[in-house]
Structure formats: structure tokens, C-alpha cells
Structure 1
Amino acid sequence: MVQDLVAQETLDEYAELSSAIISDALDLAGIHGTLEGMSTQVPGTRMCGPAFTARYTLAPAALGRFADFMDDIPQGAVVAIDNDGRTDVSVWGDTLSLFGSVQRFAGTVIDGVCRDIDGTRALNYPMFSRGTYMRTGKGRVGVESTQAPISISGVIIRPGDLIFGDDTGVVAVPRERVDEVLALARKISARDDAYETAIRAGLQMKDVWLAPRED
């Protein structure tokens, strides 16, 4: 199961961070993991979990039906869908959001668009995509593969890679480097806390930058 690829305590710690802090940690680690163009469609929601990947292709080349793979997705996974950035057909609507909510998925990110967004917002289901569009993908695109490497915004995502999303954006962390990135994120978070303390103490901005100290 994909959850087993990232320890639960690690997921819990990541869940307390932000996409901005994780992005900074990815920069320090030399990893390109920021998913450009992915934004929340349900403001105020967050997602954090290992990726369950799916790739769509234009019908009739599709090798699978539209959403049969949903029954294979485990609790706690982020559904990561590569629809090749298409914005003219949707591959997710409120029926799938309801299923994801009941099955306790961590959320969904689509290199493409979703629809029925009012229903998804009513469920408070974490949904990240390039936007919304009403036209169905049924009969137009279909599943080419699942649990294989995909590309979202030019970032390769493999099953089990950690995906995090919030109101600022979406980031992906390679599963074999989650501990390294988390260690860097802890330091960045401590630095930001020191900045906040210094600002609230009334320091001038030129002195705020000097506030953090390495142990």
C-alpha cells in the first residue's frame, strides 16, 4: 500500500508545515518539486499524503475505463492525475469527490481541470487543478496507466512520492528524500519562528534577518 512508503509520523509532521516552507526545503536540497499552475479549487483545505498516480490519454487509445482505478486507491493517498494539462475536458467531478471523502483520500491534484466544483466545495474535499471546466472527459479521454510515473507541470511523480497542497500551491517530494527535505524544513520553520519573534519584539527589518542562529 502506498501509505507504507512514508512513515505515518513523517506524514503527520509534514502536515503541520506549509507549501512555502517545503518549497524552500526543496530548493536547499536541489530538488524541483513545485507544481506550477496547480491551485486550490476549495480554499482553506490542505492535503498531505503519498501519491497514487494515474495517467489519462485521448480515446480510443485509452487502455482502461474512465475511473475504474478509484477502487484501488487506499485511504490517505493523494490522487495524482496526469491529464497532460488539458483544460477542455474534465476528469473529476463531485461524484468522485464524494467517493474520495467517504474513502478518506487525502485529496486530488490534476494536471488538467475538474468540474461540479460547488459539490466538491460542499464536501470540503481538497481539490487542486489548473481550474474548472464543465465538459466531461467521458468518451474523450480514458485511463492509460495507474501506479506508474507521471508528469505534473513538468515534475515527475512516482507512486508513493509525498504530495502536499494548501492555499499557496502544491509541492511533491521524492519518497526516498522525504526525511532529508523534512530535516531542512524543520530548520526553515525554526528560522521563520525567530523572524516572527524578532518582528513582534519591535526590531527593525535589517536586524530581523540577523535573528535566527544555528545551533
Structure 2
Amino acid sequence: MGNDDIVERLRDIGTSTLSDALDRIGLPGAVPGIVPFDARLRLCGRAFTGQYEPVDDTGGTVGDYIDDVAPGEIVVLNNQGRLDCTVWGDILTYVSSSRGVGGTVIDGVCRDVRPSLQLDYPVFARGRSMQTGKDRVRLADTGRPVLLGEVTVAPGDIVVGDADGVVVLAAAEAERVLAVAAEIDEAEDRIRQSVAAGSRLDAARAATGYHRLQTPGSRP
């Protein structure tokens, strides 16, 4: 997708800080329960969305959409949190890794976990299972808003994932969230520096307004 300044500036901001920033602004975006298979790996990029639904007697497939995903984009799949069938496996991991896709986030489960670990390809999901989604679910649509838990993800929204989980930043709000997150990071850095210089933790926290950093309407 070329140079994407806001995505680049978000790469080094942790999901914990972004979640606190979302709380202070009063926006949704933190997604409980979706975690990485490899906690060393991060993802940050614009969302490419896919919606799954149960298959019926008219048939349908799990989809051949991966060729439409641009390098750097994050594949976001809503399989309605199902734990009994997967919508991602080793072939998709291999193709995505080889083409520079930024990672995959699934409201559901993934199989063939080992290749994602071997290729350092970030996959975030609610768990893992060997059971295929073929003949159980089908791809209903791509390129429309989907849900991760209770958080809506529209195409082009920014998805950030790290060892603590996943947050979603609406494209129109990303700059504002980043600005608040930077303030929070700066305040927490001042706490660490004060403690390193010999200050008591409670005094350092009081000086930076630590307990109100995430409170709606507050400022450090």
C-alpha cells in the first residue's frame, strides 16, 4: 500500500497503551480473547476484511480471496467466534508470508500452526483446531465491515497486535488515538526515569497523574 505514515508511527506503540488511549477518548477498539500464536510477533496495518457464515445446501467455499490482499494489509476474518472449524491454514500462511501480507486476525480458530511459527508469520486467533472449515462454513463477503468480538472493523481501519492482544483503530480516529497514546507513553517513561533516579513509585505516579492516564477527559 506504499508509505502509510500513520501505520508506521503506530508500529512501536503497544496495544496496552493504545487501549488506554481508546479508554480516555471513549472509543471502542480493544478486542478481548484474540491472542497471538507467537508472542514475539507484532502486526500493524490496514484491514482487509472477510465475513464467514455457515454453509447450507446451496454450497459455497471457504474462499479464494488471498490474491486480492495487498502487501502490508492485515487479513481480518470473522468466523463468528467458532471453535469447531478453521478458516486459515498452511497454504494461506505460505502465500501470505511470501507476498508480504502483514498478518492475520481471526474471530475463530486457525490450524496448521507450525508453518506460521516457522515463517514468523503473525496469526492472532481465539485458539487452534485441526478441523477444516470446508463444508462447514463459506466466505460470504469481503471488503465490508466485520466484527471482532464486539468491535467493528471496516476495510482500511488500522489493526495492531502484540503479545497482549489486538486493538482496532477506526481510520478516522487513528491520528487522535496516536496523539493520546504518545502522551501516555511519555508519562510512563517519566515514571520509569524517576524511579531509576531514586524516587518512590507512588510519588512518581502522583507527579504524572498515572492513575488518571486512561480516564475519559483526563490529561497527564
Q: When the two structures are superposed, what TM-score results if normalisation uses the length of structure 2?
A: 0.91
The CA distance in 2 between the partners of 1:151 and 1:117, in whole Å, is: 23
Deviations 1:99-141 (A, max 9, x none): 1111111110000000111111111101000010000101111
1:18 matched to 2:44? The reply is no
Structure 2: which 5+ residue stretches go unaligned? 210-218
The CA distance in 1 between the partners of 2:16 and 2:78, in whole Å, is: 23
User: Which of 137, 141, 144 is 2:140 aligned to?
Assistant: 144
The CA distance in 2 between the partners of 1:64 and 1:197, in whole Å, is: 57
1:180 matched to 2:170? The reply is no
Structure 1: which 5+ residue stretches go unaligned? none
Question: After the TM superposition, which residues 100-119 of structure 1 pair with which residues of structure 2 at under 5 Å, given as runs?
Answer: 100-119=96-115
**Residue 158 of structure 1: CA displacement?**
0.5
The CA distance in 1 between the partners of 2:41 and 2:57, in whole Å, is: 35
Change (3 A) 1:63 1:22: farther
Are the counterparts in 2 of residues 63 and 143 from structure 1 also a CA contact under 8 Å? no
Greater share of strand: 2
The CA distance in 1 between the partners of 2:132 and 2:39, in whole Å, is: 23
Q: Paired residue for 1:33?
A: 29
The CA distance in 2 between the partners of 1:91 and 1:148, in whole Å, is: 18
Change (3 A) 1:165 1:61: farther
Deviations 1:80-106 (A, max 9, x none): 000000000011012111111111111
**Residue 65 of structure 1: CA displacement?**
2.9
Count of residue pairs the alignment pairs up: 211
Deviations 1:139-172 (A, max 9, x none): 1111001000101111111000100000011000
Question: After the TM superposition, which residues 78-93 of structure 1 pair with which residues of structure 2 at under 5 Å, given as runs?
Answer: 78-93=74-89
Q: When the two structures are superposed, what TM-score results if normalisation uses the length of structure 1?
A: 0.93
Are the counterparts in 1 of residues 35 and 126 from structure 2 also a CA contact under 8 Å? yes
The CA distance in 2 between the partners of 1:206 and 1:140, in whole Å, is: 54
**Secondary structure, aligned partner of 2:65:** helix
Q: Paired residue for 1:44?
A: 40
The CA distance in 2 between the partners of 1:211 and 1:122, in whole Å, is: 45
Amino-acid identity (%) = 35
1:208 matched to 2:209? The reply is no
Q: Counterpart of 2:181 in structure 1: which amino acid? A: A
**Secondary structure, aligned partner of 2:110:** coil
Q: Paired residue for 2:195?
A: 199
